[in-house]
Structure 1
Amino acid sequence: MTNTLHRYSEHYAFEPITNPKPVQDDYIVFAMSSRGINDDHLVEKYRAFLRLALKHKPVNMGDATKGGMIQPRQDMNPTAHWRRDQRLDPEQVIAGIDGHTTVAAVFDNYQAMRDFVDELRVADLGISINISAPMDEAQRCCREAGISRHSVEYSIGFRGRLEKFLDVITLELSTMCGHGMVSAHFAKKMLEWVKEDRRTPEEAAHYMARFCICGVFNIRRAEGIIKQACHLES
């Protein structure tokens, strides 16, 4: 999916790094269908996809029309920031599927993603499956699961007036929502709040995840980035 191709890491550093740190905590698996071709019983297929994902402990999963495991609400006022429920709710995502959309599951380790893909191969749901991960890891997953990769799409990095970009930590956080719903300034604010001990890294990551409409914001990775940036123990 193009919306997950531009998740910033050292591989996209504006000044090339000789040995960029490998991305080993960010693996996304999507499911989607084509209208009128393989969309029969679609709600049941998408729900089956997400229930299979739950067995492998995803750090987030989502429905592109409603959001991820932690979503915004319209029945609250500003004071809720100090008392709202921060628990992830996968059942909300599953129950909310009501038609054409794309669904996704995000994992923080290769093995969980690979085991999930293997189960999808056996389940044969009849919908398209897309892996968004480092290219060699995606290829390895397909090989180990005994399936042939259909095609590949990749990012050529960031181009243009790079001096206009904010710092790389902010980019790492904000680009985890490929639709741009986690603003760079909001990410900076969350970093500042953690540094000021006004929020924990976990709370800040959950706040940002609420705004990612398709649910592919990697909450666990965001927590790690914030802890490292704020010089906290991981």
Structure 2
Amino acid sequence: MTNTLHRFGDRESLRNDYIIFAMAARGINDADAPPKLQAFLRLALRHNPINVGNAVKGGIFRASPRLTPLAHWRRREFVDPMEVVQSVQSCTTVSAVFDDPTRLESFLRDLKAADLGLSINIAALTDEARDCCQRAGITRHSVEYSLGFHGDLNLLPDRRVLELSTMCGHGMISHNFAKKMIDWVKEGRRDPPQAATYLAKFCTCGIYNTTRATRILEEARVGR
């Protein structure tokens, strides 16, 4: 997916970041796609992903639709993953995010056995995605690359902000919000996992990697 190609960071920063998608082709195999997409998500949940998503309805981390002064005490930090599964009622794109290649590999084995007839793609470091596929007995079909950022790079925000904000490929996490979370963590107003959860709520596709975000925020906190 092109929206996950532009996750900013060096190789070390991008370790343990694996996003896997399933989708149908409209007019070709979309008529009976919803049950298959639900099956994809159910299979993913067996392997403990850190996030799952429905591109239409959202992931397990969601912003509150009704903000009041009481929301800080009453709102849910995340929804039951089965709510995401059950929300797939039409042709859409679904996803799962893993922070462990062994779990991704096990999921790929299950997907191969299930043979859902859907298009599956993985967004990750290309060699790691290739190796996971090979170990699961899958031959990679094709590769899509991002050519990175071009132009006057001095106009871009700093590295930490880009690492956090570009994990939402649709630009729903603003640079200022990412910077605010970094500042709050440095000031001790929120710990890294809390700030990572806040950021993930605005990635409506459900592809935000809270494990990676927590690590980035912790590194910012200690000045690494």
TM-score of the superposition, structure 2-length normalised? 0.94
Percentage identity across aligned positions? 53
Aligned mates of 1:5, 1:105 — CA distance in 2: 16
The more displaced of 174-183 and 67-76 is: 67-76
Greater than 2 Å deviation, 4+ residue runs:
20-24, 81-85
Alpha-carbon distance in structure 1 between the residues aligned to 2:143 and 2:211: 26
Which residue number corresponds to residue 209 of structure 1?
A: 200
Q: Give the corresponding residue for 2:58.
A: 67
Extract unaligned runs of 5+ from structure 2: none
Q: Paired residue for 2:217? A: 226
Q: 1:147 to 1:84 in 2, by over 3 A?
A: same
Q: Which residue of 1 aligns with 2:9?
A: 9
Q: What's 1:145 paired with?
A: 136
Q: Deviations over 1:68-124 (max 9, x none)?
A: 111123223144235532245212211111212100000001111111111100000
Provide the C-alpha distance between the structure 2 equivalents of 1:202 and 1:124, rounded to a whole number of angstroms: 36
The answer to which of 76-85 and 27-36 deviates more is: 76-85
1:107-118 residue pairs with structure 2 within 5 A? 107-118=98-109
Does 2:106 match 1:128? no
Instruction: Output the CA distance in 2 between the equivalents of 1:68 and 1:137.
Output: 25
Equivalent residues in 2 for 1:1-234, closer than 5 Å:
1-10=1-10, 20-21=11-12, 23-231=14-222
Superposed CA deviations along residues 102-161 of structure 1, whole A, max 9, x for unmatched, are 000000011111111111000000110001111111111221121221111011111111
Q: Which amino acid aligns with 1:111?
A: T
In the aligned structure 1, how far is the partner of 2:13 from the partner of 2:38? 32
5+ long unaligned stretches in structure 1: 11-19
TM-score (norm 1): 0.90
